[in-house]
Structure 1
Amino acid sequence: MPAKDTYHQAVKNALIKDGWTITFDPYPIKYEEVKLFADLAGEKTISATREGQQIVIEIKSFLSRSPMREFETALGQYLIYQTFLSVTHPSYQVYLAVSHKIYEKFFAQVAVELILQKYQVLLLVVDIKKEEIIKWIS
């Protein structure tokens, strides 16, 4: 099992507060001979007559001295998970969860936004202290 990210529990609690049911912690992603683990999976029922939305969350703290290096790693993970899930579970959406502080300091930069748009990275921005979702970016 992979180690849990520093903000794992705060993101999980924020999702639960927002009405999500955590279905996996961690979420196994298997494609052919490869088995990986995303941090969380959850679902939210939209209405009694419709199916729920299903998401997979990869949580990143960005606590090192080089946020760009961490972003390179996170982007690679994100794209691998997204690729495998597009084949095995095409209705799942993959989100990269980050704190609102790192979002404002790093992810709001024009160069980083270009990469996010190019690769269609979905973000979940969380207030770690309050354990609340600030915004979903798609």
Structure 2
Amino acid sequence: MPAKDTYHDAVKNALIKDGWTITADPYTIKYEELQLFADLLAERVVEAQRDGEQIIVEIKSFLSRSQMRDFESALGQYIVYRTLLKYILPGSKIYLAIGQDIYQSFFAQKAIKLVVEENNILLVVVNLNKEEIVQWIS
């Protein structure tokens, strides 16, 4: 099982504050011979729906010397997870959780925005100090 990301607990606490229930930490993605681990599976019951809503959250810190290399790795992982989840957990959404600082500095670049939009990457932006969700980007 992989090690938890540096900001794992801050993101988890932010989701809980936002009304989500963490139902798996980590969430095992098993398809055929592959077994992968997304950081969190969360659920929220919406009054209008009996079944509620499920999301998978993959947390990334972007702390290495190359934010672009971190981004390339996160993008690939996100696409692999999203593809498999389409078959094993249909109807769920996968979000890439990032800190507010990296969102404002790195993800604000036009080229990065273009890649995020073209690949339909869903983001959840978290204030890591306050452990609060700042923005959901779909």
Task: Sort the TM-score into its range (normalised by shorter chain).
Answer: over 0.9
Gaps of 5+ in 2: none
- Partner residue of 2:120? 120
Aligned residues: 138
Identity across aligned pairs (percent)?
62
Determine the structure 2 residue equivalent to 1:62.
62
Q: Deviations over 1:3-43 (max 9, x none)?
A: 00000000000000000000000000011100000000100
Deviation at 1:51, TM superposition (A): 2.0
Q: Which amino acid aligns with 1:59?
A: I
Over 3 Å off, 4+ runs: none
CA-based RMSD of the aligned residues comes to 0.9
- The offset of 1:64, in angstroms, is 1.2
Q: Distance in 1 between matches of 2:107 and 2:53?
A: 25
Question: For the residues of structure 1 that align with 2:82 and 2:131, how far apart are their CA atoms?
Answer: 25
Structure 1 unaligned residues grouped into runs of 5+: none
- Cα drift, residue 89 of structure 1: 1.0
Aligned to 1:45: 45
1:24 aligned partner? 24
State how 1:105-116 maps to structure 2 within 5 Å. Answer: 105-116=105-116
Distance 1:94 1:49, change over 3 A: closer
Name the CA shift for 1:127/1:33 in 2 (closer, same or farther; >3 Å): same
